[in-house]
Structure formats: structure tokens, C-alpha cells
Amino acid sequence: MITRILRYFIQGLLFIAPSFITIYIVYLVFTYTDKTIQHLFSSYLSISIPGMGIVVLLLLITTLGFLGQSIFFRPLRKLLDNMLIRAPFVKVLYSAIRDLLSAFVGNERKFNRPVLVKVNAVSELEKIGFLTSDDLSELHIKDKVAVYFPHSYNFSGEMFIVPRENITPLNIPAAEVMKFIVSGGVTKV
């Protein structure tokens, strides 16, 4: 009984920790930057502009994004990435957050192939999802594909392995399909 409760606690912690830690770090960075910029502006210019730290932080992040794409900073980014992936506890957290973010934005988006999946042949029940992997040979699975089904009104979902013949590609922009699914079908595609 106690081990089951402990297992549920750890599962809950693993579920909430990456999101909470990320949000908390962003909050700390925003508030620290805003306070620092406020202090600098009030010390040197004798003016106080609320929210200036956030503007400066957004400009800094955008500049880092621009510099990170340059040929000079790619080796530095790769070195930092390799260091974080080798750290024992940080590896799990960092790779999960990195993979989740890259699935939605950036050059390596994973949710860009919307599909309609026949879930039940008898009742003709179908579900909309995103094809995430065509090749499951590493799992020793043949003639099946991986499809991610986001939940409505939530930032979670489920991944199913389905027969390839049950997949119908949708010729609709992935962002529109995601919006349709997350809204529970309320928004128009």
C-alpha cells in the first residue's frame, strides 16, 4: 500500500516537476531582470519604467536566438547541450523539456503531420492526431506507426501505435488541427 502511494507520488512529481520548474525559473529570471533594470534606470536616469526588465529580457532572448543560429555560436550551443545531457539528474529534465519544446516550435517540429485514425472499425469511430514516427523498427514493431493524440482543453495527450492502414493524412495546416483538437472541436479549422 505504502509503495503504491509512493509510486503515485513519484509519478505525480515527474508529471508536474518539469512544467513547474520551467515556469518558476522563467518567473525568477523575469522578476530578477525587471528589478535589476528598474534599479539601474532609477539610479542613473532617475526614472522608473515598470516592466522594462521584461522588455530587456525579451530582447536578450531574441538576440540569443539570433546569435545561436550563427555559425560562430553553434559549436558553443552544441558543447552546452552535450554538457547538460551528460549530467545525471539534469539530463532527464533537460532532454524532456528540450524535446517537448522542439516538438512544438523550431526547425524540428514533430506535430506537423495531422492524421485521421480509425480507432474502431465496427462503429467507424475516428480520432484526429499527429503522426510522430513512421518507423518503429527500434521497438521491433512492423507495419505500424506512432500517432500522438493531444487532449482537449489540456496540454497533455496520449501516444498510440496503430496499423498503417488505419491512417488517413489530413491536408490541413498542423497548427489549425492542434487548435481544433485542444479546443475540443469548438474552433473552426
66-80 pLDDT per residue, tens: 777 777 777 777 787
Axis crossing angle, helix 52-68 with helix 2-44, rounded to the nearest 10 = 110
- What's residue 110's pLDDT? 64
> Are 146 and 163 spatial neighbours (Cβ–Cβ below 8 Å)?
no
Q: What is the mean pLDDT of residues 121-145?
A: 84
Distance CA 133, CA 110 (A): 9
- The tens digit of pLDDT for each residue in 82-116 reads 877 787 777 767 776 776 666 655 555 666 788 99
Q: How confident is the model at residue 14 (pLDDT cuts 50, 70, 90)?
A: low
Alpha carbon separation from 63 to 42, 57, 66, 186 (Å, rounded): 25, 10, 5, 37
Q: How many helices (H) and strands (E) does the chain have?
A: 5, 5
- What's residue 100's pLDDT? 63
Can you give the pTM of this predicted structure? 0.47
